[in-house]
């Protein structure tokens, strides 16, 4: 992965080299940035929490951030020149001398200083397949690191890299512990209150299992536990079916092996995959709170829309990955017989992916049932409305009853979908 002197290699390969070098540089910079951030956090913590009686405050002045950025940049540059670079290691390259066996320290220092002169133009040189100025004048170059078969590497933990990784890990744990600030004592101190609640929940009140509970109403109507359980299961079912039906055609548009033949195909692929990734990373509960405002707080519709949207994106992604994983042979055969793209999908792709599509859909139904029991928290409707109503009333026996029904339903759905998936596989 090193730029070969003299401009050899295809333009695309040279661009790839540039991207990899830039990536490796950013990695070094970010690593030092992370260390700096952790250090500042620890300093801050010490200042405000341990030595509270110290004078003055600790705030970074307005010129502080640029300084931190520049200092970490320098650290990254010198690490890279002195041959202790995480980023170079990550992409499997290392600095090598143009002539001779070893790089002298002088060459490394020279490269470090020259870097500042040539950094802005370096991408141009690399993109043209030449060595950037700082490499050329210091008579070194980034070359692919080939492991020496004669000398197998020492156990990773013993090397400097192992210590560095250990250091980063320990730093992360320290800072993480302080950030979360856990206080385990409360678990013990508050045990009696919790014990009372557990006791009540374990004596569930099933009086309103089938009969509507007069104290609980939604829009002037009373419901029983069973009523809302059925509603919840159907919310999940409707959302899974709708989501699956819509994800199905989209998933082919989001698969490289079906779309990647023309610029328009690539564009479609990118848009669809982007849609999947963005919409999937917004959790169902967030969608539910959006739709609760849009179509009405506590309505079943809000819940179904939220579940459906997330199902489309999540199933779409899983489906398209399956499509991309089909064996290409049958596709080739249909193309060769004069088939069109749609025929290829219908007769070569779908027969290969259908069983796993079913398995994913059933699995998703399972997830949706579990999701549907809690989205009421943000106005998505379903059995959760009842659960949170009783919780707010402090009526823990009824909470216990609802929780038990939820457990039974989720367990049953899990079992059914698991058995069906077994049958398909």
Partner 1 sequence: MPTPYLVIDGLTKVYERGQVHALRGLSFSIEKGEFLVVIGLSGSGKSTLLRCINRLIEPTEGKIWLDGTDVARLSAKRMRRVRRRIGMIFQQFNLVDRATTVRNVLTGRLGYMPGWRSLLGLFSSQDKRTALANLERVGLRDKAYARVDELSGGQRQRVGIARALMQKPEILLADEPVSALDPATSHSIMQYLEQMNRQDGVTVIASLHFLSLARRYGTRIIALKDGQLVFDGPPKTIDNAKFKEIYGEDAEEVEVR
Q: Cβ distance 142 to 88 under 8 Å?
A: yes
Query: CA 231, 232, 237, 242 torsion: positive or negative?
Result: positive
Nearer to partner 1, 187 or 424 (CB): 424
* CA distances, 117 to each of 120, 135, 202, 276, 292 (Å): 8, 12, 73, 44, 57
Please report how close the Cβ of residue 425 comes to partner 1 at its closest, in angstroms: 12
Taking the CB of residue 258, how many other CB atoms lie within 10 A of it? Answer: 24
Q: Cβ distance 303 to 293 under 8 Å?
A: no
Selected from 159, 172, 343, 393, the binder of partner 1 by CB under 8 A is 343
Please report how close the Cβ of residue 249 comes to partner 1 at its closest, in angstroms: 12
What tokens were used for 251? 């998933």
Selected from 116, 117, 173, 332, the binder of partner 1 by CB under 8 A is 332
Task: Give the x-and-dash track for 282-321 against partner 1 (CB under 8 A).
Answer: ----------------------------------------
What tokens were used for 404? 């038990």
Nearer to partner 1, 39 or 342 (CB): 342
Please report how close the Cβ of residue 197 comes to partner 1 at its closest, in angstroms: 53
Nearer to partner 1, 298 or 339 (CB): 339
Q: Give DSSP secondary structure letters for 80-108.
A: HHHT--HHHHHTTEEEEESSSSS--HHHH
Nearer to partner 1, 302 or 334 (CB): 334
Phi/psi at 129 (5° precision)? 85, 15
Would you count residue 265 as binding partner 1 (CB under 8 A)?
no
Where in 88-117 is the site for partner 1 (CB under 8 A)? Answer: none
CA distance 66 to 74: 12
Selected from 336, 392, 422, 425, the binder of partner 1 by CB under 8 A is 336
What tokens were used for 299? 């309505």
Selected from 337, 407, 416, 424, the binder of partner 1 by CB under 8 A is 337
Cα 271 from chain centroid? Answer: 19
Would you count residue 329 as binding partner 1 (CB under 8 A)?
yes
Task: Give the x-and-dash track for 351-370 against partner 1 (CB under 8 A).
Answer: xx--x---------------
Interface region with partner 1, contact rule CB under 8 A, candidates 95-103, 198-206, 222-230, 327-335? 327-335
Cα 59 from chain centroid? Answer: 33
Nearer to partner 1, 139 or 346 (CB): 346
Angle (nearest 5°) at CA 337 between 266 and 349:
50
CA distance 308 to 73: 46
Task: Please name the residue that has the structure tokens 């998936």.
Answer: 421
Where in 3-22 is the site for partner 1 (CB under 8 A)? Answer: 10, 12
Residue 51's SS3 state is coil
Please report how close the Cβ of residue 262 comes to partner 1 at its closest, in angstroms: 9
Nearer to partner 1, 343 or 393 (CB): 343
Would you count residue 52 as binding partner 1 (CB under 8 A)?
no
Please report how close the Cβ of residue 417 comes to partner 1 at its closest, in angstroms: 22
Interface region with partner 1, contact rule CB under 8 A, candidates 204-212, 224-232, 284-292, 343-351? 343-351
Selected from 41, 45, 161, 335, the binder of partner 1 by CB under 8 A is 335
Selected from 17, 334, 362, 378, the binder of partner 1 by CB under 8 A is 334
Angle formed by the axes of helices 11-45 and 64-82, to 10°? 130
Selected from 89, 96, 136, 347, the binder of partner 1 by CB under 8 A is 347
Please report how close the Cβ of residue 364 comes to partner 1 at its closest, in angstroms: 22
Q: What is the rounded radius of gyration, in angstroms, for the C-alpha atoms of the chain?
A: 30
Residue 132's SS3 state is coil
What tokens were used for 364? 């998703």
Please report how close the Cβ of residue 142 comes to partner 1 at its closest, in angstroms: 21
* Cβ contacts of 334 within 8 Å, gap of 6 or more: 343, 344, 347, 348
Please report how close the Cβ of residue 343 comes to partner 1 at its closest, in angstroms: 5
Number of H helices, E strands in the chain: 19, 4
Please report how close the Cβ of residue 18 comes to partner 1 at its closest, in angstroms: 18
Would you count residue 342 as binding partner 1 (CB under 8 A)?
yes
Where in 16-147 does DSSP place strands (E)? 93-97, 140-144
Please report how close the Cβ of residue 234 comes to partner 1 at its closest, in angstroms: 30
Interface region with partner 1, contact rule CB under 8 A, candidates 114-122, 226-234, 330-338, 390-398? 330-338
Q: Which residues bind partner 1 (CB under 8 A)?
A: 10, 12, 329-330, 332-340, 342-343, 346-348, 351-352, 355
């Amino acid at each position: 992965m090193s730029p070969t002197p003299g401009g050899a290699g295809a333009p695309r390969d040279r661009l790839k080299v540039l991207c990899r070098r830039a990536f490796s540089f950013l990695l070094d910079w970010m690593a030092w940035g992370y260390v700096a951030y952790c250090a500042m956090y620890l300093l801050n913590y010490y200042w405000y929490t341990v030595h509270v009686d110290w004078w003055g405050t600790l705030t970074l002045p307005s010129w502080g951030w640029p300084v931190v950025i520049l200092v970490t940049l320098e650290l990254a540059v010198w690490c890279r020149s002195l041959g202790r670079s995480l980023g170079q290691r990550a992409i499997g390259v290392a600095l090598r001398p143009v002539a001779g066996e070893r790089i002298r320290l002088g060459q490394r220092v020279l490269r470090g200083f020259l870097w500042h002169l040539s950094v802005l133009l370096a991408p141009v040189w690399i993109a043209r397949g030449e060595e950037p100025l700082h490499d050329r004048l210091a008579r070194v170059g980034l070359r692919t690191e080939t492991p020496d078969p004669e000398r197998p590497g020492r156990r990773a933990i013993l090397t400097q890299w192992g210590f560095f990784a250990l250091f980063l890990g320990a730093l992360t744990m320290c800072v993480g512990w302080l950030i979360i600030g856990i206080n385990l004592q409360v678990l013990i101190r508050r045990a009696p209150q919790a014990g009372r609640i557990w006791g009540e929940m374990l004596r569930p009140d099933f009086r309103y299992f089938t009969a509507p509970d007069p104290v609980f109403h939604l829009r002037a109507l009373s419901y029983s536990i069973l009523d809302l359980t059925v509603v919840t299961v159907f919310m999940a079912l409707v959302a899974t079916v709708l989501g699956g039906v819509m994800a199905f055609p989209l998933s082919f548009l989001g698969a490289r092996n079906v779309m990647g033949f023309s610029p328009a195909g690539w564009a479609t692929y990118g848009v669809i995959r982007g849609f999947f990734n963005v919409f999937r990373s917004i959790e169902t509960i967030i969608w539910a709170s959006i739709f609760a405002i849009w179509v009405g707080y506590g309505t079943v519709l809000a819940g179904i829309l939220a579940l459906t949207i997330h199902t489309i994106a999540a199933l779409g992604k899983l489906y398209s990955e399956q499509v991309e994983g089909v064996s290409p042979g049958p596709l080739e055969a249909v193309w060769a017989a004069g088939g069109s793209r749609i025929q290829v999908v219908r007769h070569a792709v779908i027969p290969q992916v259908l069983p796993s599509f079913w398995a994913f859909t059933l699995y998703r139904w399972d997830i949706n049932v579990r999701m549907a029991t809690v989205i009421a928290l943000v106005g998505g409707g379903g059995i959760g409305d009842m659960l949170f109503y009783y919780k707010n009333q402090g009526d823990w026996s009824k909470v216990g009853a609802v929780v038990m029904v939820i457990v039974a339903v989720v367990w049953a759905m899990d079992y059914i979908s698991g058995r069906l998936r077994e049958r398909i596989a």
